[in-house]
Amino acid sequence: MGSYKPKSVLVNTQGGKKAGNPGVAPSGPPESVEGKFGEALYFDGTNYLEVVDSKTIGISDQLTMEAWVKPEVLVVSGDAMSVTTKDVCYYMQVRDGKIGNYFYNVNPPGYHLSKNNIKVGVWTHIAVTYDGKEKVFYINGEEDSRVSATGKIQLTNDSLGIAAEVRIPSRGAANQRYYKGIIDEVRISNIARTPDEIKESFENGLVMAVDFSGKLSITWGQIKREK
């Protein structure tokens, strides 16, 4: 077994320059396994990755969250498993076998679910976009449903959690909603990606989909186990 050495969650910044947000694994390293595109990370329901709060994840106007998931279980008791969550601010989760989403301070308020389900043990590309007027759910590159919503997402200083909701200690709440299964190709963008862009991510992966023409993205690319 090789040692886990987190590199960075790549950031695609204005002008095509690259920066990075460190992805750390405070609860123990996830296992590197075969992914949808190259290697992915297996989360056992107790570990997660944390990206410390910064301007690059402080996104409030437009937002896209996307990832490939292969869940080992599906929580069907009304609770959720987090895929990408900046606690309080924005969520993309697996809940009741569907994609679950919440944006803080967006009107009308509420937690919304996709219409269609995802399956245990099956690779599924999931995405949620928000353009300030509506949120759109996608499953495997196809639009699933739309929900009218307006306003800016209210921001906090919480970290971004991958495979868990990461809580700041001052709130007095423990981390929760751990994901169990494999996650690959995570990307968070400060734009509402078009249906064609979501389709391209589904068909080709992020290597083909990343656009260096001024769109900021946090991408999964470099978080792997070094062997």
Contact indicator for 57, 94 with CB cutoff of 8 Å: no
**What is the distance between the alpha carbons of residues 140 and 199, in angstroms, rounded to a whole number?**
8
Per the listing, tokens 């069907």 go with 76
Report the candidate in 51, 58, 49, 60 with the shortest Cα–Cα distance to residue 20: 51
Evaluate whether residue 224 is within a structural domain: no
Q: What is the CATH number of the domain that holds 178?
A: 2.60.120.200
Evaluate whether residue 37 is within a structural domain: yes
Give residue-wise pLDDT tens across range 17-70.
333 444 555 566 788 888 888 888 899 998 888 887 777 777 888 989 999 999
pLDDT at position 173 is 62
Evaluate whether residue 181 is within a structural domain: yes
**What is the distance between the alpha carbons of residues 8 and 24, in angstroms, rounded to a whole number?**
9
Evaluate whether residue 115 is within a structural domain: yes
CA 68 to chain centre: 9
Structural domain tally of the chain? 1
pLDDT at position 29 is 75
Which residues, given as ranges, of the chain have pLDDT below 70?
Answer: 1-28, 76-78, 169-174, 207-227
pLDDT at position 15 is 27
**What is the distance between the alpha carbons of residues 40 and 38, in angstroms, rounded to a whole number?**
7
Evaluate whether residue 4 is within a structural domain: no
pTM for this model (two decimals): 0.82
Evaluate whether residue 227 is within a structural domain: no
Contact indicator for 71, 179 with CB cutoff of 8 Å: yes
Domain interval for residue 41: 9-219
Evaluate whether residue 1 is within a structural domain: no
Evaluate whether residue 46 is within a structural domain: yes
Give residue-wise pLDDT tens across range 9-27.
333 322 223 334 445 555 6
